[in-house]
Amino acid sequence: MSTDTITFDRAAEFYDRTRGFPDGIERDAAQAFIRVGALTTRSRVLEVGVGTGRIALPLAPHVGKYVGIDISRPMMLKLRGKQTGERINLSEGDARVLPYADASFDAVVAVHVFHLIPNWQRALVELKRVLKPDGVLLHGWNRQGDNEPMQQFWRQRERESRTFEGGLSFEQRQTFLADEGWRLLSEDKVDYTVHAAPIELVNEMRNRMWSRCWRLSDEQLAAMVRELEAFLKVTFADPAQIVPVASAFHVQKYAPPAV
Ligand SMILES: C[S@@+](CC[C@H](N)C(=O)[O-])C[C@H]1O[C@@H](n2cnc3c(N)ncnc32)[C@H](O)[C@@H]1O
């Protein structure tokens, strides 16, 4: 499908390996959605950018109906390959043009998707349209090493190299829903630890495993990898040593703007 949004077709093969939760944490993340969203076995839930089902597979068995949409068929084929009886209704399509009737869902789940959509405001209009009058948006994201120097490194590079083209900037990610009039009703998070060697990121960047490097030229990528290596050397005593990294999965519940 041709689109200016950032599809994850190229990531389907390695997405779960690089973005998956440690064992058991996917269940805790699903419980966080259930708690925050007050989801029940009668709830009708839509997930936009459903991907490989990292959220959908553990969450779907707890709700009445789970519908997922994504522009990437290869990502959803991975979801299908992992299903063990979870009922998930999938569509290939764009969050900005949803193929669902008005007021169809009690909740919309969105995790790590708005930053990939250049005119994400259009997606928010669509989410509001398909939500029932008392329906809510459940916005989730996870971060490894909250507030670490690593986050600062990426923020800095994003600005300098202007790799970001379209969706949300790092700064906007904290405020975009409130800026558009969505009201924060409640939130929760799940803390967990991953174990990784900082140097692994260098290989992941070299192999363009993260969407932030998909639009870089070979020269830009090589320069960024060099900077990353230098940064890791001064930041970690031994970047090749596996270390515990404090991480968290966040869920926020928002009501759509009144008008
Ligand atoms: C970073 S992945 C997140 C997948 C899943 N939500 C998760 O947390 O594991 C983002 C997903 O959003 C999809 N995506 C990007 N732009 C989209 C759009 N405009 N409409 C629907 N899906 C989109 C990508 O193809 C990809 O599968």
Express each pLDDT in 117-131 by its tens digit. Answer: 988 999 999 999 999
Arithmetic mean of pLDDT over the chain: 90
**In which band, very low, low, confident or very high, does the pLDDT at 2 lie, cut at 50, 70 and 90?**
very low
3 state SS of 21: coil
pLDDT for the residue numbered 148? 65
Q: What is the DSSP letter of 257?
A: P
More confident residue, 19 or 71: 71
User: Ligand 1 centroid vs 48 CA: distance in angstroms?
Assistant: 7
d(CA 34, CA 77): 25
User: Ligand 1 centroid vs 225 CA: distance in angstroms?
Assistant: 25
Length of the chain counted residue by residue? 259
pLDDT in tens, 150-189: 767 777 776 655 555 567 777 788 899 999 999 999 999 9
pLDDT for the residue numbered 210? 83
Q: Is the pLDDT of residue 259 over 90?
A: no
pLDDT in tens, 17-44: 888 899 999 999 999 999 999 999 999 9
Counting from 1 in the atom list of ligand 1, the atom nearest the Cα of 76 is: 27
Tokens in use for 23? 């064992």
d(CA 132, CA 44): 10
3 state SS of 165: coil
d(CA 10, CA 214): 10
Domains of the chain: 9-255 (3.40.50.150)
pLDDT in tens, 197-231: 888 888 888 888 888 778 788 988 898 889 889 98
Protein residue with its CA nearest to atom 9 in ligand 1: 54
Q: Which helix (H) or strand (E) holds 60?
A: none
User: Ligand 1 centroid vs 233 CA: distance in angstroms?
Assistant: 33
pLDDT for the residue numbered 1? 36
